[in-house]
Structure 1
Amino acid sequence: MADTLAGPVPEAPDSPPEFPMPREARCPFDPPPALKDLQAKTPLAKVRLWDGSEPWLVTRYADQRAILGDPRVSADTDSPGYPTKASPEGGEGKLSFIMMDDPEHARLRRMVTAPFAVKKVEALRPAVQRIVDDLIDGMLSRPGPLDLVEEFALPIPSLVICELLGVPYDDHAMFQENTKTMVRTTATPEQRGVATRETAGYLAGQIARRLAEPRDDLLSSIAGRVTAGEIDHQQATEMALLLLIAGHETTANMIALGTLALFQNPGQLALLRESDDPKFVAGAVEEMLRYLHITHLGRRRAVTADIEVAGQVVRAGEGVIMANEIANRDPGVFPDPDRLDLTRDARRHVAFGFGVHQCLGQPLARMELQVVYGTLYKRIPTLKPACALEDVRFKNDAFIYGVHALPVSW
């Protein structure tokens, strides 16, 4: 009874810190302070997850790249030692090929690589420019304030991925709402299951239509692989689900979060607003990707054979987590890393990962962000936040970081 009244037993001094770590509310664009402290102290440390397991956390840039490029680590969630899902309420599941190893990973990935090649993506730039301009026209036709997330940040990547896949944009409200549930850490397994099944069922129906009547879109290409016997209908649906989620949720968050970060750095915003140099805009996008890392729960792997990391042997069957947000703030690679500097050469960042699993859609994400960052602040030069920073709700409750809403005026 006395022990109960005294409260929980304090952790032992050498107990590994819990992961993920909380951000500092006053610095919502920076990695958690405890994570930065850990990076300064050691390149490799044990952390404790919600279930009591203790994988290794890799804090420095060079070590993260080495591990992500090492064939002795596995992205397969079924591999012994793979770090557990991010919360007890639910986990990532197996999102098609991104949570598989070669050769199956490479086989499936190759099926959807072509539409995301740089030349194919560049051919879409005029269409994306029209989408951005049309949305800005719509914003300017009404008095502010309005929510930049709903009116601008979400529609852009949603329209683009719908066009690529061949999904009617009229159906976007359903899959956007379901995606929010799927990536929310506070969602129950039942809620996440319902959202996943509804979206997967919808995509399965779309693929069935393409099997009967192929069109000139990515879903038809995926359906063609079913017809050829290379994958089954379930695998095709999982592949389409991955592309739909990744195709709009990540970029939408970068648009809104990036705009808010620029509001807090008016000198950098002015540089972007006043530049007509596409190369400068492209470089600015790379710095924004370095400075703001939205997949903030780390890339997770299981070690399949003993490897050495920063002088420490990590044994087969142990898990490792690469917190890419802290790698992109490694002072040994990016001087003065906590400063947003759009003139910096940030192309070496690991926002899209590294190695065979690096993001398939990165050319598309880059192009969309270049169009947005190169257009929005020129067309609305007086764009400004319509609320205080402390009133903005950040997505600390989701696997993908960003803001729930961003009221703006001009």
Structure 2
Amino acid sequence: MNIRKYRILIVASHPAQYSAPIFRVMAKHPQLEPQVAYCSLQGFEPSLDSEFGVEVAWDIPLLNGYPWIQVQNNSPKPKLGSFFGLINLELWKLIRKGNFDAVIVYAGYSYASFWIAAAAAKAHGQKFVFSTDASSIQSRNGKQWKAWLKRFLLPPIFRLADFVIVSSTLGKQVVRSLGIPEKQIAMTPSSVDNDWWSYQATQVDVKAVRRQWDIPENGLVVLFCAKLQPWKRPTDILQAFAKANVPNSYLVFAGEGPLRPQLEAEAKSLEMQDQVRFLGFVNQSQLPSVYRCANLFVLPSEHEPFGLVVNEAMLCGCPVAVSDHVGASYDLVQHGETGLVYSCGDVDALAGILRVFLPDSERLNKMSAAAAQRMKTWSPYENVEVIVQALEKSIASPAMILSSLS
């Protein structure tokens, strides 16, 4: 029996540590012939990350293991995060000549290049697919007029797609709420390179790392690993840590951002400065060490579409506690089983979690083992299989229902 092979063009805004593993799995899949077109090389080339507030170039391979090209950016002011920052006019020619079965866009509709790719795919009879990690139409700054505008504008944008790739249960709910039929939605696991994280965690010298942190081997470490930005609510974990007042405990902040001076000052005012460590920005190759040396990872965010740091922590054997605004709390974290969930902003509840669970290594170890089992079916492999199934049904017969992907 002949297996149909699909030629797909993947339009990505820039190389990212989370998308590269998926592209590598695509390149090895017997039914896919992918070509990745990058609109920018930011992330591979050093550049200022406005949210970290430092220059970032990821220190792991981002461009190997799959075919890729860079498409010329015609923007007079090239940058990520701006509609006119990506104007890749050559996408039209690439799509016109490529004769692809489908064009999959991993660059958001807030870029001009999204619209170039969409128009080219539609004009030349190629399936148009785009991926969204949105888990809410609310903006990070809470401005209601933006949510109203999105509810008005997003449905016609989403209807452009032959099918929409979402990365979480919350994402699927959002897209359905915009009136998009379930048959046009494919839910792919929001994933990281499971094999890499699991292996790297086994290579960590916990004693040596803790010596670098000036934390004793038997110390109880709470970890916050994210940008120090208001929507991540790092102040919540600092206040909860102080309230819990667990003996022999330490709080480690791995990440950089504008809230760092405020957090350092508050740690001092709470007389916790001897128990709090600020590591600054930690690049990808060193993150397994950070997770492996912690007893509990906490993500208190109020706006977190998924929170791939949760995947990373679980794969490194670190138990997790997350707010109920974190997308992963719906797909990966079953309270009391694979992790802990609390109401966002409830510092007392978070302090209670720290007080009860941080000293209880037996319960934490059980959650860590259950989390490892959960991650066995939440990886780039499952991600790519869902995409292949969606392509098969969409291309073989556009009218066929994709409900089996839900």
* Same fold? TM cut 0.5: no
Q: TM-score, normalised by structure 2?
A: 0.26
Bigger fraction of residues in strand: 2
TM-score by length of 1: 0.26
Greater relative CO, 1 or 2 (CA 8 Å, sep 6+)? 1
The structure richer in helix per residue is 1
